[in-house]
Amino acid sequence: MDLRRVSGVDRMCFGIQLFGGRIQWLLVGLTVMIWLPSIPVPVASGAEPALFPQRPPLRRPVSMLDLARFAEAWHTRTADSPYPELDLNRDGIIDTLDLSIYLSLATTPETWPSDVNRDLRSNWLDLVLFTEGWNLRTTSPFNDPRDLNHDTAIDANDLLLFQQDWRAIVPTPTPVPVPGKLGDTIIVPLPNLPPGARPLEMVLLKAGSFTMGSPANDPDRDSDELPQHTVTLTYDFYIGKYEITQAQWEAVMGSNPSTFPGRPDNPVDQLSYRDGLEFIRRLNQKYLGKFRHPTEAEWEYACRAGTTTRFYWGNDTREIDAHAWYQGNTTSTMPVGSLAPNAWGLHDMAGNVFEWCSDWMGPYPAAAQTNPVGPPSGFYRILRGGSWFHEAKLCRSASRFAVSGDVRFRYYGLRLVRTFP
């Protein structure tokens, strides 16, 4: 007989069932889940086949503030909830399923598509759950974790993605110098891009160092922008000259999720971090080179373009109208590239839509860093650049914003980086 330790989610369910599932006992159940010592439980003998790579260890503790928000929003409809972002499975109500997803996301750096039940492992149980949904039609492209390609049907196409996710993760090769000079551009051909639409153009940035974060005397700074520290990037990379547009997204994905559709050269919006991962996966299937989200350090390096001021055009907020779309000059997204670029030729690094970065949110170190990629785990993903919906201070080069990587809003978009092995 083997012994297995009870998981955090198991202890949570035990706590909730023990106290009748009443809301006043919800936090008691969560307390049992977090602090109760693990209890050995007998299970059937026989080791599970080691077919899948193991998950990273649990690292980030559950936030009691988040749990208090769950308690306040418990069993409310998303539209009426003070915290609609807690409806993680997007079924219209905040309940136990959302809490279970949160607990999984809060304690692991990633959830893989093949981890259907979000227990931090890809195993036979996930396969059983997947096959139980075979040929099932879903009511929404994103409300069933087994609908991996988000086409509202669980079928052979999803099975192919499910199988691919079982493979071991191959480390990204260390980038090497790219021939060319700062500002050189390339155009990535997109076969389905309509005539006249703006192409996917990328600008070469060379290796270098910069000061990341805000100075202590910036009146608009937030505490998470401190301390300032030196960052060195030892490799060259390409970054999008513009944010990904609606036309470019539709050419790759075949659909347009934007709040303001029918504007091919406007940035695509309503994107989660994971939506961006799927776009990148499809793009990497078509072309050589490694497309990905920028790291937060790469993003700020590109945004600053050699400057040390609050904005990439200087310190004067009154000059923003020439450089950024924000709440003071628009009520929607606007065509990319219609305002002045920064010194390295990049447009809309401030305003229009927030841009996802690959880093988890975390405090800055005081020491200098080389090629930083952020904390190894977390719950919130970084967004940078401000948006058409927000105030001017979020367009500062050092401003940071972070939400769950599953959340979509009408001001979340995407800009890509391309590196070379």
50-70 mean pLDDT: 47
Is the pLDDT at 2 greater than 70? The verdict is no
Q: Give residue 42's pLDDT band: very low, low, confident or very high (50, 70, 90).
A: very low
Assigned token pair, 314 = 């200087």
How far, in Å, CA of 105 to CA of 352, rounded? Answer: 29
> pLDDT (tens digit, 9 = 90+) per residue, 154-192?
877 777 766 655 443 333 445 556 778 898 999 988 888
Asked which of 128-137, 162-171, 322-331, 342-351 is least confident by mean pLDDT, the reply is 162-171
Of 29, 24, 28, 36, the residue nearest 14 (C-alpha): 29
pLDDT tens profile 92-113: 888 877 776 666 554 433 345 5
pLDDT tier, 126 (very low <50, low <70, confident <90, very high otherwise): low
Domains for the chain: give ranges and CATH numbers: 185-419 (3.90.1580.10)
pLDDT of residue 303: 98
Could you give the angle at the alpha carbon of 302 between the alpha carbons of 299 and 307, nearest 5°?
Answer: 120
Per-residue pLDDT, 86: 78
At 143-155, the pLDDT tens digits run: 566 776 667 788 7
- Rounded CA-CA distance 168/173 in Å is 15
- Per-residue pLDDT for 255 more than 80? yes
What is the model's pTM? 0.63
Averaged pLDDT of the chain: 78
Mean pLDDT value across residues 59-87: 72
Between 246-253 and 273-286, two packed helices, what is the crossing angle to 10 degrees?
A: 60
Find the largest Cα–Cα distance for the chain.
Answer: 71
Q: Which helix (H) or strand (E) holds 358?
A: strand 354-360
- pLDDT tens, residue by residue, 290-322: 899 999 999 999 999 999 999 999 999 999 999
Dihedrals phi, psi of 404, to nearest 5 degrees: -60, 140
Between 86 and 66, name the one with better pLDDT: 86
Do residues 357 and 381 make contact, with C-beta atoms less than 8 angstroms apart?
A: yes
CA–CA dist 233, 198 (Å, integer): 29
Torsion sign across C-alpha atoms 306, 308, 311, 316: negative
Given a cut of 50, is residue 365 above it in pLDDT? yes
Count the residues in the chain. 421
What is the pLDDT at residue 124?
Answer: 59
Considering only residues 378 and 210, tell me which one the structure prediction assigns the higher pLDDT: 210
- pLDDT over 90 at 56, yes or no: no
Q: CB-based burial of residue 176 (10 Å sphere; 0-12 exposed, 13-18 middle, 19+ buried)?
A: exposed
Of the listed ranges 43-57, 311-325, 375-389, the one predicted with least confidence: 43-57
- Say how far apart CA 258 and CA 155 lie, in whole Å: 26
